[in-house]
Structure 1
Amino acid sequence: MLDEDLARIRAHRNNIHRYRRLLRTKVSELERQFIERRLAEEQTALDALTADTFPVAFAMPKGSAGSEGAGAEP
């Protein structure tokens, strides 16, 4: 199951790179609109799949600013 999810993530990532590369070329306005729509769809699918595959999230504690309170004490 994990291998399949990783393969799907890789495919979405490759498609995103392909669409971004296409946007750097000279394309018509109609093609640009299509590519941008597909890019957004691929990004949304990648975000959803990544969240399902790796559900762990780390949040910074409230009041934490940068490295204050972290590390060794003087």
Structure 2
Amino acid sequence: MLDEYLARIRAHRNNVHRYRRLLKSNLSDVERQFIERRLTEEQTALESLSADTFPLAFSLPKGTDMPAS
């Protein structure tokens, strides 16, 4: 099951990279709008899937600085 989630995360991540790369190319306004919308959809899906797959998040209490290494 985890393998399926990781494969889906990888697919969304690859799509995000592809859309970002396309945005650097010469596009018409309509193409750019479409790519930007798809990029937003892929980023949202990636964030949602990542949060569902890896629900734990660790944070430091306020006022605590990380030691310099």
Say what the alpha-carbon RMSD is for the aligned residues.
1.5
Structure 2 stretches lacking a partner, 5+ long: none
Task: Provide the TM-score with structure 1 as the length reference.
Answer: 0.86
Instruction: Quote the Cα distance in structure 1 between the aligned partners of 2:45 and 2:19.
Output: 14
Identity %: 71
Runs of 4 or more above 2 Å deviation: none
State the partner residue of 1:65.
Answer: 65
Structure 1 stretches lacking a partner, 5+ long: none
**Count of residue correspondences:** 69
Instruction: Quote the Cα distance in structure 2 between the aligned partners of 1:15 and 1:24.
Output: 14
* Larger of the two Rg values belongs to structure: 1
Higher-helix-fraction structure: 2
